[in-house]
Chain A
Amino acid sequence: MDRSYQVITRMIAKRLLVSLIILFIVSLLVFVATLLLPGDPAQAILGQQATPERLAALREQMNLNDPVFVRYFTWLGGLFTGNLGYSAATGGPVTALLADRIQSSLVLMGLAALISIPVGIIVGTFSALKRGRAFDNATTGVSLVLASLPEFVIGIGLVALFSTSVFKILPSVTMAPPGEAVWNYPVQLVLPTITLALVVTPYIVRMMRATMLEVLDSGFVEMARLKGVPERQVVLRHAVPHALAPVAQVIAIQLAWMAGGVVVIEFLFRYPGIGQALVDAVANRDVQVVQALSILIAAAYIVVNLLADLVGIFTNPKLRTEKAA
């Protein structure tokens, strides 16, 4: 027992270290990519009419006169102290630009997760219980179709259905006045949330169905049935908890995917989150904002993937005792 604890601790420590190294290399990649851009960032912010004195002052302020590696570490330090530089498009500090948007995106992703996780688990379980019957076939078919569609196709389908042609009941764009929180307008959150949820749910359903089928065929479930445990209890007490472990990992991977996938959906619904900000920044070639957002999304992605791996380590007995055995 003690040895297996040691093994787990060592595995987790190793995994944490790997994540840190990866994050460091990613930050290098992001920084170097922006060095390749032609032109002077100070000029880009101030425009063609800027006087040489103002340019020099801004260059000094942005540390553009320092050697490259000093600038990298200044930038890296800024990530921790909340000083992410200045936007070339608006001239304002990047941090102020992003604070509200990060919140809005987290709300959207959180709501989508709150819907898709229980729905995915419940639908997957029922699908497995009704194996080969109409409900199962329909679920399998629908989740295969949904999993193949690009996210903006799902979103536009919903817009066409619920806000323009067939039913005109839901708004297709988010139009909260600037500075106001998105959750003050719950109706506008409905379509983006459902779209995001529809993109990730099929993967949860498929994994839940597959592991439930395996668990339902296993010896301990048969044993419980033979002992006369009511079917309801067999499913809820014995089968589902065992099936949840591998599904938890798929859920974590889907949450990680959301960090990047939310970009297209936010653009589609004009949702004022980080994705929309990233697309605008790329279109304007606003380097500081692209840098900050890329590293932010990558960090979120790496952290959630790390969690997925940890869930995997904790729930997989084989992995847990791999070296102890």
Chain B
Amino acid sequence: MSTVDDAVEQGVAVSRPPRLLARMMRQRQAKVGMVLTLAVLLVALAGPLLLPWLTGHTSTEFTGRPFTDTGMFGTDNLGRDVLSRFLDGGLRLIIYAALATALGMVVGVAVGMTAAYSRGRVDALIMRGNDVLLALPQLVFALLAITVLGPQGWVLVVVIGITHAPRIARVTRSATASVITEDYIRASEMYAVPRYKILLTEVLPNITGPLMVELGLRMTYSIGFVAALSFLGLGMQPPTADWGLMINESRIALVVQPWGVLLPVAAIAVLTVGTNLLTDSLARASANMNAGN
């Protein structure tokens, strides 16, 4: 697993992407997306570090009576400082989403490339298995797993990653299929380069465009997915500070204490819009590049 992961990283660093990223960042849309994403990342990352110092409270400490307006944004349903909980609640969401996306990418890319490169019966077998997994709506699959395994962090990561994998595998397979008929692949085959090496050094660098678009898309979905499960009360468990859970806990009091809901909702909205703007401009850059060749 780790070798494939390393190779993904390496492919991103050395080959075509610098040009792709440059094309992407030239679009205004991408700049806006970058600013939005970085702003939320900064809050989520700096929040837990600065916490007791900045607001005077930790995220789980009871500071007063419920729904008062002490502090900058008041207190929540149990009398905890809303701003502290907001600052502490983003990092876990983003890390879980990133881990789930990474897991889905590694599994999906490995499966998709293997399927496309082995062709024939193995390919058909893998892709039919894929179809079965695609036949369950992602959320239902996740809920089924949570019923059996209970709501825990690693369950979220694994379940979301696994439900992403078949979708990523499908994209990887079609991207790989269009590359493996090229002459340079046949040349490597003639030199008897081992299969896995051909996949990692010849195929992978040439499909980074579609894969990075897929990565962005899956990251956007993962963020919404982790947040939604916590919002349903089936993800992060109290008293953890988490944006999805915060929305669930505070929404009954939307009229009295709107900040407990509005801060995390706004943060999730800005983050997903940001990542999706980046993904969209990346897709445009990638499509233009292929059209240009």
> How many angstroms from the CA of A284 to the CA of B145 in the assembled complex?
14
With A144-B280, A297-B140, A298-B136 in contact, do A149 and B228 touch (Cβ < 8 Å)?
A: no
B269 touches A153 (CB 8 A): yes
Q: Identify whether the interface residues of A are mostly helix, strand, loop, or mixed.
A: helix
| A145–chain B nearest beta-carbon distance, Å | 5
B231 touches A294 (CB 8 A): no
Q: Which of A9-49 contact B (CB under 8 A)?
A: 18, 22-23, 25-26, 29-30, 33-34, 36-37
A264 touches B275 (CB 8 A): no
Interface size counted on chain B using CB atoms at 8 A: 40
Closest chain A residue, CB of each to CB of B231: A152
Which of A118-126, A236-244, A254-262 sits within the interface? A254-262
Contact of A301 among B137, B145, B224 (CB under 8 A): B137
Residues of chain B within 8 A of A263, CB atoms compared: 139-140, 143, 232
Q: In the complex, which of the residues A25, A152, A160, A297 has the most CB atoms of chain B within 10 Å of its own CB atom?
A: A152
Contact of A36 among B148, B247, B280 (CB under 8 A): B148
Closest chain A residue, CB of each to CB of B255: A164
Scoring B residues 26 to 39 as 1 if CB is less than 8 Å from chain A, else 0, what string do you get? 00000000000000
Residues of chain B within 8 A of A184, CB atoms compared: none
Contact of B136 among A26, A144, A172, A264 (CB under 8 A): A26
| B159–chain A nearest beta-carbon distance, Å | 12
Which of B52-60, B79-87, B202-210, B257-265 sits within the interface? B257-265
A92 part of interface (Cβ distance < 8 Å)? no
With A25-B132, A149-B272 in contact, do A264 and B231 touch (Cβ < 8 Å)?
A: yes
Q: Which of A301-319 contact B (CB under 8 A)?
A: 301-302, 305
Q: In the complex, which of the residues A18, A157, A164 has the most CB atoms of chain B within 10 Å of its own CB atom?
A: A164
A147 part of interface (Cβ distance < 8 Å)? yes
Residues of chain B within 8 A of A152, CB atoms compared: 227-228, 231, 247
B147 touches A150 (CB 8 A): no
Residues of chain B within 8 A of A208, CB atoms compared: none
| A183–chain B nearest beta-carbon distance, Å | 25
Q: In the complex, which of the residues A172, A281, A290 has the most CB atoms of chain B within 10 Å of its own CB atom?
A: A290
Q: Identify whether the interface residues of B are mostly helix, strand, loop, or mixed.
A: helix
> How many angstroms from the CA of A261 to the CA of B138 in the assembled complex?
9
> How many angstroms from the CA of A260 to the CA of B139 in the assembled complex?
6
Contact of A30 among B144, B223, B277 (CB under 8 A): B144
Closest chain B residue, CB of each to CB of A290: B147
> How many angstroms from the CA of A134 to the CA of B185 in the assembled complex?
47
A148 part of interface (Cβ distance < 8 Å)? yes
> How many angstroms from the CA of A26 to the CA of B140 in the assembled complex?
12
B135 part of interface (Cβ distance < 8 Å)? yes
With A148-B276, A283-B234, A290-B147 in contact, do A153 and B265 touch (Cβ < 8 Å)?
A: yes
Q: Which of B99-148 contact A (CB under 8 A)?
A: 131-132, 135-140, 143-148
Closest chain B residue, CB of each to CB of A258: B137
A298 touches B234 (CB 8 A): no
A282 part of interface (Cβ distance < 8 Å)? yes
A301 touches B135 (CB 8 A): yes
Contact of B273 among A36, A145, A293 (CB under 8 A): A145
A86 part of interface (Cβ distance < 8 Å)? no
Residues of chain A within 8 A of B135, CB atoms compared: 22-23, 26, 298, 301-302, 305
> How many angstroms from the CA of A282 to the CA of B139 in the assembled complex?
12
A156 touches B247 (CB 8 A): yes
Q: Which of B217-237 contact A (CB under 8 A)?
A: 220, 223-225, 227-228, 231-234
Residues of chain A within 8 A of B144, CB atoms compared: 30, 33, 290, 294
A156 touches B228 (CB 8 A): no
15 contacts between A and B (CB under 8 A): A18-B131, A36-B148, A148-B275, A150-B228, A151-B224, A153-B269, A160-B258, A172-B254, A256-B137, A260-B138, A263-B143, A278-B140, A294-B140, A298-B137, A301-B140
Identify 7 new A-B residue pairs, CB closer than 8 A, beyond the known A149-B269, A264-B232, A283-B234.
A26-B132, A26-B135, A257-B137, A267-B232, A282-B146, A283-B233, A287-B147
